[in-house]
Amino acid sequence: MISAVNVSRWYGQVIGVNDINCEIGPGITALLGMNGAGKTTLIRLITGQLRPTTGDLRVFGQEPFANPEVYRKMGYCPEIDNFYEHYNGFEFVNYLARLEGMNAQRAKARTAEVIEMVGMTERAGRKIAGYSKGMRQRIKLAQAMLHDPEIILLDEPLNGLDPVGRREFMDLLGALANSGKAIIVSSHILFEVEQMTRSLLLLHRGRLLATGDLGVIRELIDKHPHQIRIETDTPREAAAMLANLPNIVSMRFERSGDSIRLEVREPNAFYDAVMAAVLEQGLQIRGISSPDNNLESVFKYLVEA
């Protein structure tokens, strides 16, 4: 559906994306990267708001820039939080339905359908100016689904949604992906992406750092020692027990005195061993966390790899 060959985009002397090569097909694909990685630039290139400085980007085999043929099959939920604030949700979506080429009657019916899909029926009559962030996200998604597009691009769609809203949103995206659509979701939160898909494009400083299955990237990450922080009221006793567990590379007490920082290989095996130690040997811990489980660490590992 989407193919990019050596696509670069520069803003004067600043690089947006650099030498991107990828193919995107049906299903959910996550576009993962920290702020400023080039996610929005890539989405804007795909949605034809920008032209590549060099390279060739095609959507359904066509150049997307200002191309109505492409837009007939593409829905876009932008990151921006701006609307015609004096419109109500229904009017806003209905106006965009008319721009899709629907007649007035069809536009109204379809608007009602998509508004119901995003759970906004009861609030669609209120002015957008009074909407919460979550309601705005839902209205943005509704307008992206209006014409039942084959590709839907969502730029940071989970921002501002509460946990229930996130779950509903993810379920909806899953259902759309299962119906054969290509869903591209950008995010800077690894955890968020893992809940939605295994397929991802990892962007870092404008470059495509990795593509493919999230599991492969996870494995690559797991080859490196993982940092794990264990909080406990009895650090010395806990350290003595932990020292006997497998896969530990290093261990040190933190200055606060109530936690231990470990470096371990194969973190999953280590977590299992910790659980067993808690149950069988009476290891006392208050909390366990992994400072590595964030994007910065992922990028660090991948760049080093």
Partner 1 sequence: MESAIFTHALRENLRIKRVLPWLVLGATLVFGFALKWSVFQNDADKGQQYASVSSIFVFHLLALISAILTSTIVNQEIENKTIVYLLTRPVPRWKLLVFRYLACSLVVALLSIVNTLFATAGVYGGLSGNPMLLKDIAALTIGAFAYGAFFMLIGLMVNRSMIVCLLFTFGWESAVPNMPGQMSYLSINSYLQAIAEHPSQGSNKGMGLLTSTLGDNTLSASTGYIAMFIFVATLVVISSLWFTHFEYLPREDAE
CA distances from 70 to 55, 62, 66, 155, 299 (A): 19, 7, 9, 18, 33
What is the smallest separation between the CB atom of 100 and partner 1, expressed in angstroms? 6
Size of the site for partner 1 (CB under 8 A): 28
From 31-39, 64-72, 119-127, 243-251, give the range in contact with partner 1 by CB under 8 A: 64-72
Give the nearest distance from C-beta 39 to partner 1 in angstroms.
13
Tell me whether residue 101 or residue 180 sits nearer to partner 1 (CB atom): 101
129: how many CB neighbours lie within 10 A of its CB?
11
69 in contact with partner 1 (CB under 8 A): yes
CA angle at 41 for the pair 39 and 10, rounded to the nearest 5°: 125
To partner 1, the closest distance from the beta carbon of 23 in angstroms equals 22
Under rule CB under 8 A, residue 188 binds partner 1 = no
The answer to the question of residue 252 lying near partner 1 (CB under 8 A) is no
What is the spatial distance between Cα 192 and Cα 273, in angstroms, rounded to a whole number? 27
Packing angle of the helix pair 214-222, 295-304 (nearest 10 deg): 70
Q: Are 221 and 255 spatial neighbours (Cβ–Cβ below 8 Å)?
A: no
Give the residue, chosen from 76, 90, 270, 299, that forms a contact with partner 1 under the rule CB under 8 A: 76
Give strand pairing partners of 207.
204
Contact yes or no for 75/145 (Cβ under 8 A) = yes
Site for partner 1, residues 120 to 159, rule: CB under 8 A? 143, 147
Binding stretches for partner 1 (CB under 8 A): 40, 44, 47-51, 66, 68-69, 71-72, 74, 76, 78, 80, 82-84, 86, 95-96, 98-101, 143, 147
